[in-house]
Amino acid sequence: MTFESLGLHTSILRAIADTGYTTPTAVQEQAVPAAIAGRDLLVSSQTGSGKTAAFMLPALHKFAAAAEVMDVNASAKTPNQERQAARARGDRPRFQAAKPKMLVLTPTRELALQVTTATDKYSAYSRRVKAVSILGGMPYPKQMQLLSRNPEILVATPGRLIDHMESGKIDFSELEILVLDEADRMLDMGFIDDIEKIVAATPETRQTMLFSATLDGVVGSMARRITKDPMVIQIAGSATKHENIQQKVHFVDDLSHKNRLLDHLLRDESLDQAVVFTATKRDADTIADRLNIAGFAAAALHGDMHQGARNRTLDSLRRGQVRVLVATDVAARGIDVPGITHVFNYDLPKFPEDYVHRIGRTGRAGRKGLAVSLVNHAESMNVKRIERFTKQLIPVDVIEGFEPKKTAMAARAPARKASGWKPGDKRTTGNSFGNSSKPAQRSFSKPNAAPRSEGGGFGGGAAKSRFGDANGNRRSFGDR
């Protein structure tokens, strides 16, 4: 199937061609025609499946068709033309509430900015279509300036949107399309009351599209309340296997062992860019600082950073100036950087579904990726929960010179017993499980590979010691 066969407007097809996409994804094949027909949608699809285009392309198609009607009726004045006429008459200008045609709700600022950026690309040849982001961390004067343009498409996080609604800066009386992106995540973050309030302020005649990793439980209940005779599309749940992402577990004895292993893995020659996920904001800052000292071009990303700093960090990542992003789960959704080849779980996530979204930062759009979890032996049950959720075993890997004191088989035996595995069973994954006679294998570099020399590390320059001092004495960044 091609994008032309979806029945999209010629201006949108031209913009899609500029992006280099030639064929729609599975979710786009089903969602775009149904959305163009005006159906409400409930969509469950994995991260990286192209869902942003699945809801934005049909909306832009609708606006492009409406613009042609306005061209025929040239006597009709747009809101901006009316404001210009008022200024010409000498009327005192006053702020008028923005009346968007489309609202997209997202759980994080990063996802909101990603949706807005994608919309700008798809609407490059569409007239009278403006998309703006309204989110926390952005100065109010800047947001007022954006709203004064009366944008057709508004992309927002729930909390900041409520602020502008209550102050009368936004009017949803003319809203035609409502999209809830990553609805399950918004509920996990406690936005249920805000979402209910926002939905209540929109016309009942609106078209509603909800995208979520799951359509069960609270999400399913809310979806049924806010939609009318929806078409349900289940391309792939969040537990779907990431067949293009190789997953591994490395067991570690302590923090020093974990830090030395991370240093080694980050020096893999196949690594282009990486995201290292931590549990806390403080750890994100600390590890990013120590990685920079060790010679890596690293930066932190977390919720305590103001929006300007977060934007600059993401821009540096996209330009390749940042090679290692150390982030909390604020970055698990909404980051789409093709150069991310590796994801490292320095700390395991609290919820198995967050593991899926974390590793989904690599292997985007069918590319290959590698996801590695650094796990303390006491966390083996958390690995088991992830495996149950994804319905997929994660192989254990051991690197020569970085072997844990406690064997991987001993650490995993309780979890495997519950899954039907017993000691002595052979596995097909090297030396990960069982009684394979193969020696421990390196997973990221060649055997006996030497550290990178000039130009081989993050940031280039002279040969770097592995978190070592000026004399080359070996030191982990956790030994400070």
Segment 320-332, tens digit of pLDDT: 999 999 999 876 6
Distance of CA 450 to the CA centre of its chain: 34
Most confident by average pLDDT, 20-29, 164-173, 408-417: 164-173
Segment 352-365, tens digit of pLDDT: 878 988 898 888 76
Mean pLDDT score of the chain: 80
Most confident by average pLDDT, 41-50, 353-362, 369-378, 468-477: 369-378
> Which of 346, 326, 342, 341 minimizes the C-alpha distance to 260?
346
Evaluate if residue 71 carries a pLDDT over 70: no
Residue 336: the pLDDT is: 76
Share of the chain above pLDDT 90, in %: 44
> Which of 138, 131, 193, 190 minimizes the C-alpha distance to 162?
193
> Which of 287, 295, 264 minimizes the C-alpha distance to 403?
264
> Which of 267, 309, 265, 308 minimizes the C-alpha distance to 284?
309
Segment 221-271, tens digit of pLDDT: 889 899 999 999 987 544 455 778 999 999 999 999 999 999 999 999 999
Residue 104: the pLDDT is: 96
Mean pLDDT score, 134-151: 85
Q: How confident is the model at residue 49 (pLDDT cuts 50, 70, 90)?
A: confident
Residue 129: the pLDDT is: 81
Q: Strands, DSSP E only, in 235-318? A: 245-252, 273-277, 298-301
CB burial string 291-328: b at 16+ within 10 A, e below? bbebbbbbbbbbbebebeebbebbeebbeeebbbbbbb
Helices (H) and strands (E) in the chain, counts: 16, 13
Distance of CA 421 to the CA centre of its chain: 34
Residue 331: the pLDDT is: 64
Coil, strand, or helix at residue 352? helix
CATH numbers and ranges of domains, the chain: 4-234 (3.40.50.300), 245-418 (3.40.50.300)
> Which of 407, 378, 408, 410 minimizes the C-alpha distance to 394?
408
Please state, in angstroms and rounded to a whole number, the distance separating the CA atoms of residues 206 and 302. 35
pTM of the model: 0.63
Please state, in angstroms and rounded to a whole number, the distance separating the CA atoms of residues 313 and 303. 13
- More confident call, 140 vs 157: 157
**Helices 307-319 and 109-122: angle between axes, nearest 10 degrees:** 60
Segment 380-431, tens digit of pLDDT: 999 999 998 888 899 999 999 999 987 654 445 444 433 444 434 444 443 3
**Is residue 372 a contact partner of residue 343, using CB atoms and an 8 Å limit?**
yes
Evaluate if residue 61 carries a pLDDT over 80: yes
**Is residue 355 a contact partner of residue 348, using CB atoms and an 8 Å limit?**
yes
Distance of CA 290 to the CA centre of its chain: 25
- More confident call, 17 vs 456: 17
> Which of 445, 399, 396 minimizes the C-alpha distance to 271?
445
Evaluate if residue 79 carries a pLDDT over 60: no
Contacts of 427 (CB under 8 A, 6+ apart): 395, 433, 434, 436
Please state, in angstroms and rounded to a whole number, the distance separating the CA atoms of residues 419 and 358. 24
Residue 243: the pLDDT is: 76
CA pseudo-torsion sign 380, 382, 386, 387: positive
Coil, strand, or helix at residue 230? coil
Evaluate if residue 84 carries a pLDDT over 80: no
**How many Cβ atoms sit within 10 Å of the Cβ of residue 159?**
13
Please state, in angstroms and rounded to a whole number, the distance separating the CA atoms of residues 45 and 29. 13
CA pseudo-torsion sign 424, 427, 432, 438: positive
